[in-house]
Structure 1
Amino acid sequence: MSYAAGAAVATPASAVDLPQAHELSLIEAAQAITAKRITSERYSEVLLKRTHDLAFLNSFITVDDEKALSAARVADKERLAGKRHVLPGLPIGVKDSYLTKDLPTSFGTQVARGFRPATDAKVVSAVKGAGCIVLGKNNLVEMSYGLTGLNAHYGQAKNPYNALHVTGGSSCGGAASVAARLVPAALGGDTVGSIRVPSALCGVVGFKPTPGRWSGSGVAPISNTLDTTGPIARRVSDCELLDAIATGGSPSLQRIPAGLRGTRLAVARRYYLDGADPEVEKIFNETISKLKDAGASVVEVDLGGDFGPLVEEANWALFFHDTQPDVTAFLRDQKVPVTFEEIYEGLEPHIKARWQRFVLETGPDYTRKAAYQEAVAVRRPEVQRRFVREVFSRADAIVFPTTLCAAPTIAEQWQFSVAGRTVNDVFLSRNTYPASFAGLPGISIPMGLTKNGLPLGLELDGSSGNDRALLALARRVEQVIGFLPPPQVAT
Structure 2
Amino acid sequence: MQERTKATSTPKTDALASLGVAAAAQAIRKGEISSESYASALLQRAREHVDLNAFITIDENALLEAARKADKAIASGATAPLLGVPVAIKDSYLTEGIRSTIGLSTLDRFVPEHDSDAVQAIKDGGGIVFGKNNLVEMSFGLTGHNETYGQAKNPHNVDYVSGGSSGGGGVSVAARIVPAALGGDTIGSIRVPASFCGVVGFKPTTGRWPRSGVAPISHTLDTTGVFARSVDDCILIDRVVTRDETPDANGHSDLKGVTLAYAPHQYLEMVASEVAARFNETLRQLRDAGANVVEVDLGQDFSSRALSATWNIFFRETRAAVEKFIRQNNVPTTFDDIFDGLKPGLKNAWAHLVLSNGPGYISDEVYNTALSDERREIERRYAQAFRGTGAEALILPTTPVPAPMIGQEDKILLGGQEMNQLVIANNTIPASAAGLPGISLPMGLSNKGLPIGLELEGPFGRDRALLYIARRVEAVLGTLPAPI
TM-score, length of structure 1 as denominator length: 0.95
Match of 2:157 in 1: 162
Match of 2:7 in 1: none
SS in 1 for 2:105: coil
Work out the CA distance in 2 between the residues paired with 1:441 and 1:3: 37
Does the CA-based 8 Å contact 1:139-1:172 persist in structure 2? yes
1:137 equivalent among 127, 132, 141: 132
2:80 equivalent among 56, 77, 85: 85
| Change over 3 Å in CA distance of 1:242–1:230 after alignment to 2 | same
1:414 equivalent among 393, 410, 417: 410
SS in 1 for 2:80: coil
2:465 matches 1:483: no
Q: Deviations over 1:125-174 (max 9, x none)?
A: 00111111111000000000000000010010000000000010000000
SS in 1 for 2:210: coil
Does the CA-based 8 Å contact 1:50-1:182 persist in structure 2? yes
Does the CA-based 8 Å contact 2:14-2:41 persist in structure 1? no
1:446 equivalent among 431, 435, 442: 442
2:111 matches 1:120: no
1:17-56 matched pairs, under 5 angstroms: 20-56=15-51
1:426 equivalent among 422, 426, 450: 422
1:149 equivalent among 144, 153, 156: 144
Does the CA-based 8 Å contact 1:223-1:326 persist in structure 2? yes
1:305 equivalent among 300, 304, 307: 300
Work out the CA distance in 2 between the residues paired with 1:59 and 1:326: 26
Q: Deviations over 1:387-423 (max 9, x none)?
A: 1112343111100000010000012112222343211
Give the letter for the 1:298 counterpart: V
SS in 2 for 1:224: coil
Q: Deviations over 1:61-84 (max 9, x none)?
A: 000110000000000001001111
The Cα of 1:469 is off from its aligned counterpart by 0.2
2:362 matches 1:356: no
More off after superposition, 355-364 vs 457-466: 355-364
Q: How many residue pairs were aligned?
A: 477
1:294-333 matched pairs, under 5 angstroms: 294-333=289-328
The Cα of 1:255 is off from its aligned counterpart by 4.1
Does the CA-based 8 Å contact 1:93-1:183 persist in structure 2? yes
Give the letter for the 1:178 counterpart: V
Give the letter for the 1:315 counterpart: T
Work out the CA distance in 1 between the residues paired with 2:135 and 2:414: 25
| Change over 3 Å in CA distance of 1:19–1:366 after alignment to 2 | closer
Does the CA-based 8 Å contact 1:4-1:63 persist in structure 2? no
Give the letter for the 2:392 counterpart: D
Give the letter for the 2:205 counterpart: T
Structure 2 residue runs of 5 or longer lacking an equivalent are 5-10
Match of 1:268 in 2: 263
1:379-418 matched pairs, under 5 angstroms: 379-394=374-389, 395-418=391-414
Work out the CA distance in 2 between the residues paired with 1:196 and 1:398: 15
Deviating runs (4+, > 3 A) in structure 1? 2-5, 16-19, 251-256
Match of 2:466 in 1: 470
More off after superposition, 244-253 vs 135-144: 244-253
Match of 1:279 in 2: 274
Match of 1:345 in 2: 340
Work out the CA distance in 2 between the residues paired with 1:420 and 1:235: 36
SS in 2 for 1:200: helix
The Cα of 1:233 is off from its aligned counterpart by 0.3
Q: Deviations over 1:2-34 (max 9, x none)?
A: 4499xxxxxxxxxx9576111111111111111
Give the letter for the 1:269 counterpart: P
Does the CA-based 8 Å contact 1:62-1:137 persist in structure 2? yes
Work out the CA distance in 2 between the residues paired with 1:347 and 1:456: 31
Does the CA-based 8 Å contact 1:99-1:218 persist in structure 2? yes
Give the letter for the 1:448 counterpart: G
Does the CA-based 8 Å contact 2:163-2:192 persist in structure 1? yes
Give the letter for the 1:45 counterpart: S
SS in 2 for 1:456: strand
The Cα of 1:364 is off from its aligned counterpart by 1.1
SS in 2 for 1:160: coil
Match of 1:201 in 2: 196
Does the CA-based 8 Å contact 2:187-2:432 persist in structure 1? yes
2:183 matches 1:188: yes
Work out the CA distance in 2 between the residues paired with 1:154 and 1:398: 37
Structure 1 residue runs of 5 or longer lacking an equivalent are 6-15
TM-score, length of structure 2 as denominator length: 0.97
Over aligned residues, Cα RMSD in angstroms? Answer: 1.4
Identity %: 49
Work out the CA distance in 2 between the residues paired with 1:236 and 1:416: 30
Work out the CA distance in 1 between the residues paired with 2:252 and 2:244: 22
The Cα of 1:303 is off from its aligned counterpart by 0.8
Q: Deviations over 1:170-205 (max 9, x none)?
A: 000000000000000000000000000000000000
